[in-house]
A and B are shown apart, each in its own frame.
Chain A
């Protein structure tokens, strides 16, 4: 009986402790306080481990083959590009020491930095760059923006890119971080399988130590890393691995990411649920980072069905209250911005408010009139969506209600994300779906603008292609920008998609983390962690 009593006592203690723990006020104590760290100023030190809670594991770490953010964010620690983007989204050399565009605009000569080492100890040479760029050249993004092109090694440290004609976008595409033009050793490229490379060796400040699937990736400092001797700016300039190691823990459950940050298990938690932010705001020692992700978009099927008719698309545009949809999706105006542009105001090379007169101008009478003109007769409109992404789902629900208000017979079809991806390829199965587009550095990277990309939604107005080609052919950015303004105006008149607005995302980190910044995803170099 003694043992039983001890057992019951132990159980009661556990239950009481748990209840006390759960009922304690979240505002007046925090893990860090309990550890006593509030009495000492955090100091920036090198070394230590940075524990990052990340929402999803990438399908691959090969940035050449996928547009997924889950690949981009960890892969940028390992791989670098010839040129990159600074904080003003301007193209800046990285692995290239310099580059020069020929007078006729058909050749770019890259002078490589000498003595750059790969993680396997070999030196990066023109051969590696040509192999890497040739593989990357197979990607849709490269094909669409570079056209017919060829990479040639001129000598050990010089590489030339030959292409058809002057282009205002090639340098941006080479510098961009989505499906990025990572440089890898030639032998890695040669041994790449059907689903990309299998060895992850780059020149970046961190190297991949191990990848425990569905658990974590461990990155360690690359001791032979050679930083650029310029101040850090965006993804450019000096990159230093200040911590010894970075753990990317894959934590799909968002409340677990929040709890892990609160308990101190994670130093940084990426993409947190909006409804957890008020709770986190009350915790001292937690910093909250709200950053622009891209646009939330309603995509029309323009190959089959009702929305081939532009008047139907315009009716939908007049029917929608964008602010309500964005509130449904992102909970609060703190997390979205109403803006007709595909670019951020900081992207001065492209930003324009052209088309503003069509943006967020809800006018139900006009919408109904357009429906009538288009001959709409109560046909079913299928909105594809997935609960895998709450903001897409909530956007779809709000849209369905608003469309029903003007008499459109809108119906939701909810699938898991993989099924949605397959169904959206079949034009006979849907009319509208929601997706997000991360901010790109050129208009050409927005696949829905180009009829030749054949991207689901099937933009069918050749005027877009003409403008895209013209923009590309410009040698002056000013002229390119003016043409882009025309294109954005056309986008709001023709409506291949409806840009509902810009959405912001939230990450949070312990104030032990110093020097963190977000630039098209989290940046963990130049980040230190205090004791």
Chain B
């Protein structure tokens, strides 16, 4: 197990190395520079040039790369010229909204999806099943920004149950925090719910036709025991894979929801930094997102073993 863990962690190194190099050069070779953006469209060219000089943007690209790259080994992700602070600080400040959004969205998704998926599988072919699957199809098809706008109009503008935009950190109290998070989490969680519900249904259907389920039934076990104890546990591996993968995308891809609801999360940070060409922030953030994505996948892999001992045996 330890060896497996070590191998997985070591395999991170080449991934991060490639990401670091690609992101650095991709961004620096993209036209547009922070000095011009900072000084506004009417700025005189000599002012832009002077600022470029002062910010070190005129240094040869390889020099800029090596100074950034070796900084990484000291835990220095660079300095945001725009926010005037270390990239790591900027990232950590933005982590709470994104993590909170992703976890709430995932929580909502799981709470809705798994019972509905199981119910659809048990009632396969009935009206309930068809209704759930139509809803799931809708959930996957409606873009989260559209759902977000609808939720904002309904619950924010009309009913005024929740604020339409903005953010209150968790430190201001759970309710203060939650009232800003519920609508974005619902809009983001719906797509997840639809994905997980479909996976739960199909995975459960596979298992329910197996012989050991029939045996369990013939033993006279209660339906609930058969479904939850025997079927669900075995159906859970593919469901967990979807949950894990989609959680990764939630963390990295909440950009649209964060923009619509004006949440100061990591997604917005990346987008804004691209707009203003704050190179160090883009590089550092992408690197950190990659790490988190890989780590989530690692956790999911390890969880397979917890749920299904056969996976652990295979690894040996």
Contact = CB atoms under 8 A, between A and B. Distances in A.
B165 A265 contact: yes
B46 A7 contact: no
A21 B157 CA distance: 8
A526 interface: no
B134 interface: no
B67 interface: no
A418 B36 CA distance: 7
B112 interface: yes
Contact of B37 (A65, A71, A139, A421): A421
29 contacts: A7-B115, A11-B112, A21-B154, A21-B158, A22-B154, A22-B158, A29-B158, A31-B160, A65-B47, A66-B43, A67-B41, A139-B47, A140-B43, A140-B44, A213-B90, A249-B262, A251-B165, A256-B260, A259-B149, A263-B164, A265-B166, A388-B275, A416-B275, A418-B32, A422-B33, A447-B42, A453-B44, A454-B45, A456-B45
Contact of B160 (A140, A178, A263, A456): A263
Interface in A460-477: none
A252 interface: yes
Interface in A412-436: 415-423, 425, 435
A262 B157 contact: yes
Given A22-B158, A139-B47, A265-B166, A418 B84 contact: no
Contact of B164 (A17, A259, A423): A259
Interface string B131-173: 0000000000000000001111111111110011111000000
Contacts of A212: 264
B269 interface: yes
A194 B259 contact: no
B194 to A, nearest CB: 14
Interface in B4-37: 30-33, 36-37
A415 B54 contact: no
A256 B152 CA distance: 9
B176 interface: no
A39 interface: no
A444 B165 CA distance: 42
Interface of B: 30-33, 36-47, 51, 54-55, 81-84, 90, 93, 111-112, 115, 149-160, 163-167, 259-262, 264, 268-269, 272, 275-277
A260 B112 CA distance: 29
A259 B40 contact: no
Complex A-B, nearest 9 residue pairs according to Cβ-Cβ distance, in ascending order: A418-B32, A140-B44, A21-B154, A194-B54, A21-B158, A68-B40, A18-B154, A67-B40, A67-B42
A293 to B, nearest CB: 13
A31 B39 CA distance: 39
Given A265-B166, A422-B31, A195 B36 contact: no
B150 A22 contact: yes
A96 B5 CA distance: 70
A253 B262 contact: yes
Contact of A18 (B33, B83, B90, B155): B155
B44 A447 contact: yes
Interface in A151-202: 178, 193-195, 198
A256 B261 contact: yes
A416 B30 CA distance: 11
A194 B149 CA distance: 41
A120 B286 CA distance: 39
Interface residues of A, number: 65
A419 B275 contact: no
Contact of A17 (B43, B112, B150, B154): B154
A361 interface: no
A435 B45 contact: no
Contacts of B259: 252-253
B277 A455 contact: no
A415 B41 CA distance: 15
B165 A260 contact: yes
A507 B52 CA distance: 35
Contacts of B268: 214
A217 B200 CA distance: 46
Contacts of A59: 37-39, 82, 276
A68 B82 CA distance: 15
Contacts of B54: 194-195
B19 to A, nearest CB: 22
Contacts of B166: 215, 249, 265
Contact of B115 (A4, A21, A253, A455): A4
A255 B32 contact: no
Contacts of A65: 38-39, 47, 51
Nearest to B152: A259
A215 B47 CA distance: 28
A409 interface: no
Given A18-B155, A21-B159, A259 B47 contact: no
A215 to B, nearest CB: 5
A366 to B, nearest CB: 32
Nearest to A57: B272
Nearest to B41: A435
Contacts of B154: 17-22
A416 B275 CA distance: 8
Contacts of A416: 32, 275
Contacts of A215: 166-167, 262, 264
A264 interface: yes
A60 interface: yes
A67 B39 contact: yes
Given A57-B272, A71-B40, A215-B264, 18 more contacts: A21-B158, A22-B150, A59-B38, A65-B38, A65-B39, A68-B41, A140-B47, A215-B262, A250-B262, A253-B260, A259-B153, A259-B165, A260-B165, A265-B163, A265-B165, A415-B31, A417-B275, A419-B31
